[in-house]
């Protein structure tokens, strides 16, 4: 006869069931622990580490690069106005500080497209104009090129020496009449709109063809600042 297999006892079955339950419990605990570690502990650690780096990273680089040196469009060399318009280009959204006659004069923010424009008050005589810029980190650029503008509100001298108002000129040989006079050196002279360039001392001479009868001669002197002096003379020509 074939021997019969031994039938497990009830105690053995209970032990096996207990072992299975323990294994399942351990697996479940391991899975839960892994999920907590992955989705809770690691993110907390990473966020804390990043916060530490942001607040106390000794290797964090500071912005020490100075902004672009502003470029000033050359202003006029001289003006009769007490103010002058100054424009140019610089680093966008940085602060622009004007240096007028060696002193900080005004401050503005350069536009997003890099342009700037301002009205500066001038003193009588020579004015020096320059500028530099400062970025958000406090870095300062070098000072720009310095320009010089003269503020002069004095009208130029104009002395027409050889013409008396209402004078008469006779004969055809005198029809080509010479206008002579003196003005400030560097000024231009206009005779009836025609430009005349005086010599280095301001003296000028220009021939004018007179028409028969009364001639009106408008003589004007204009200096570099735009100041103007004019005289009008009447000359009658008789052939």
Structural domain harbouring 124: 71-151
Whether the CB-CB separation of 224 and 150 falls below 8 Å is answered with yes
Name the domain count of the chain.
Answer: 2
Within-domain flag for 196: yes
pLDDT of residue 63: 74
Residue 183, SS3 per DSSP: strand
Within-domain flag for 108: yes
Based on the domain organization, do 168 and 141 belong to the same domain?
A: no
Based on the domain organization, do 142 and 181 belong to the same domain?
A: no
Q: How many residues does the chain have?
A: 239
157: Cα separation from own chain's centroid? 38
What are 211's two structure tokens?
Answer: 């028409």
Within-domain flag for 120: yes
Within-domain flag for 66: no
Whether the CB-CB separation of 225 and 211 falls below 8 Å is answered with no
In the sheet where 115-121 sits, what is the strand order? 71-72, 83-89, 115-121
Is the torsion defined by CA of 182, 184, 189, 191 positive or negative? negative
Based on the domain organization, do 135 and 199 belong to the same domain?
A: no
Based on the domain organization, do 127 and 167 belong to the same domain?
A: no
Ramachandran angles phi, psi of 19, nearest 5°:
-65, -40
Quickly tell me which residue has 């391991």 as its tokens: 30
Within-domain flag for 8: no
What are 128's two structure tokens?
Answer: 């020096």
| Domain finish residue from 110, 125, 151 | 151
Based on the domain organization, do 166 and 120 belong to the same domain?
A: no
CA distance 191 to 189: 7
pLDDT tens track, the chain, 239 positions: 555 555 556 666 666 666 666 676 666 666 656 665 555 666 676 666 565 555 544 545 677 899 999 999 999 999 999 999 999 999 999 999 999 999 997 789 999 999 999 999 999 999 999 999 999 999 999 999 999 999 999 999 999 989 999 999 999 999 999 999 999 999 999 999 999 999 999 999 999 999 999 999 999 999 999 999 999 999 999 98
Residue 143, SS3 per DSSP: coil
The predicted model scores a pTM of 0.65
Based on the domain organization, do 147 and 175 belong to the same domain?
A: no
Whether the CB-CB separation of 179 and 163 falls below 8 Å is answered with yes
Based on the domain organization, do 134 and 165 belong to the same domain?
A: no
Q: Where are the beta strands (DSSP E) in the chain?
A: 71-72, 78-79, 83-89, 95-100, 103-109, 115-121, 125-134, 147-151, 158-160, 167-170, 176-183, 188-191, 194-196, 203-209, 213-222, 228-238
Q: State the CATH number of the domain containing residue 190.
A: 2.60.40.10
Based on the domain organization, do 120 and 140 belong to the same domain?
A: yes
CA distance 91 to 116: 10
| Domain finish residue from 120, 151, 182 | 151
């Amino acid at each position: 006869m074939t021997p019969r297999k031994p039938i497990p006892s009830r105690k053995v079955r209970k032990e096996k069931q207990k072992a299975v339950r323990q294994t399942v419990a351990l697996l479940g605990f391991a899975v839960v622990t892994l999920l907590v570690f992955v989705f809770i502990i690691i993110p907390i650690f990473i966020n804390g580490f990043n916060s530490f780096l942001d607040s106390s990273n000794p290797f964090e680089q500071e912005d020490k690069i100075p902004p672009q040196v502003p470029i000033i469009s050359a202003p006029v060399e001289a003006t009769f106005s007490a103010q002058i318009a100054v424009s140019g280009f610089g680093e966008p959204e940085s602060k622009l500080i004007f240096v007028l006659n060696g002193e900080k004069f005004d401050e503005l923010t350069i536009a997003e497209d890099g342009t700037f424009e301002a009205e500066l008050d001038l003193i009588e005589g020579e004015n020096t104009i320059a500028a530099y810029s400062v970025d958000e980190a406090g870095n300062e650029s070098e000072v720009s090129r310095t320009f010089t503008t003269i503020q002069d509100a004095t009208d130029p001298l104009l002395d027409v020496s050889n013409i008396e108002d209402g004078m008469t000129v006779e004969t055809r040989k005198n029809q080509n009449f010479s206008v002579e006079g003196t003005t400030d050196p560097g000024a231009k002279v206009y005779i009836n709109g025609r430009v005349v360039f005086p010599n280095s001392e301001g003296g000028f001479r220009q021939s004018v063809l007179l028409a028969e009868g009364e001639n009106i001669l408008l003589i004007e002197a204009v200096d570099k600042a735009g100041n103007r002096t004019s005289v009008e003379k009447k000359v009658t020509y008789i052939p």
